[in-house]
Amino acid sequence: MYYPYFRGKQFELIAIRESASLIADSGFVPIIEPVRESLGGLEKALRSLSDVGAEAVVVVNPRYGDHRENGENIAGLLEQGYRGNDAISAGILLTSETSVSRALSLARSFSAAGTTLIHAGFTESRALSAQLAGDAERFRNIFLEDQANRLYRRHFLGRPRILVGDGFVQMKNADYPPVETFSDLHITYSEQGMDGYGDFLTVGDNYSEGGGPAYAVAIHLTFIDPDQDDAMFIYHFKSDTNDTPTDPAGKFAQALGKLITKLDSGESNLVETSAVLEFRGLHERRHFPGLGYVKKLSIKHHLETLADFHSADNHG
């Protein structure tokens, strides 16, 4: 149903580990594109998921990061640790630079049931579908929303199809509006002929190796508004001070104060997730845990919000 797309940075992998039981209980299927040379964090995340019976898709030919030229170590990890485990499976990224022959070669190398084709700019859907022929039934298909139109997707009818959108518009922290639209895919994916949906969480699709110093600190938290047909929106709680890169702790305190004020208003529509409880605790202790930790909490809140939505009586 829900396929969150993670790039395998440390705080994202820790969020997966800490949310493993929630992911399993909710039937979520994380997609993980490893971007760090060391696969230790990925191994821990996959082990946490496997231990609770959760599924995951691991991209074996990443577009970004340290493995973009050679994914053999990722393939080796899957082969050694998860051979015969259908829950932890390979994902093949098909970009605008992927030839049909390369796509076929990857598909034949990772042809176990559950292997996922991730369509991310690839244009030869008709040729690939025809070449896969009878083997195509074993592949799940994930389409990045802005790079695969309906004509493209129709060549994969009859096989599981998931649409992944990017609801997080990236900009400088100081430039974010207080609140904006995030997504309605959790409501509309089935109307678009899809079997599931996904997003890039509260991180976004744009990849960078590392950010520079933060002139402003922002806390990004998603919520579902029942008065807007259950569409999802996102708050951006920002610091007031944004003219120098100094005092990130003070800036975090400013942003966190705005978050707590909104929560206490009783009109935020924010689910009181475990992540929100942690934010409350940080506010009470006046503690700054670091920006990576804040991003981790934002991701966990997003996962918990969607789990809460789908567990409600009138949602599948």
pLDDT digits (tens, 9 = 90+) for 281-303: 999 999 999 999 999 999 999 99
pLDDT at 312: 81
Q: Is it the case that residue 316 has pLDDT exceeding 50?
A: no
Query: Would you say the pTM of this structure is higher than 0.85?
Result: yes
pLDDT at 150: 86
pLDDT digits (tens, 9 = 90+) for 30-66: 999 999 999 999 999 999 999 999 999 999 999 999 9
Report the range of poorest mean pLDDT among 38-42, 98-102, 132-136, 263-267.
132-136
Q: Exposed (0-12), middle (13-18) or buried (19+): which is 147, by Cβ within 10 Å?
A: middle
Q: Give the mean pLDDT of 220-225.
A: 98
Given pLDDT bands bounded at 50, 70 and 90, which one contains residue 147?
Answer: low
Q: Give the mean pLDDT of 148-167.
A: 89
Q: Is it the case that residue 264 has pLDDT exceeding 60?
A: yes
- Please check whether residue 63 is in contact with residue 96, taking contact to mean a CB–CB distance below 8 angstroms: no
What percent of the chain has pLDDT above 70? Answer: 96
- What is the C-alpha separation between 188 and 147, in angstroms, rounded? 18
133: left (phi over 0), alpha (psi -120 to 50) or beta: left
Please state, rounded to an integer, the average pLDDT across all residues of the chain. Answer: 92
Q: Do you know the residue count of the chain?
A: 316
pLDDT digits (tens, 9 = 90+) for 103-139: 999 988 887 767 899 999 999 999 999 888 777 677 8
- What is the C-alpha separation between 143 and 149, in angstroms, rounded? 9
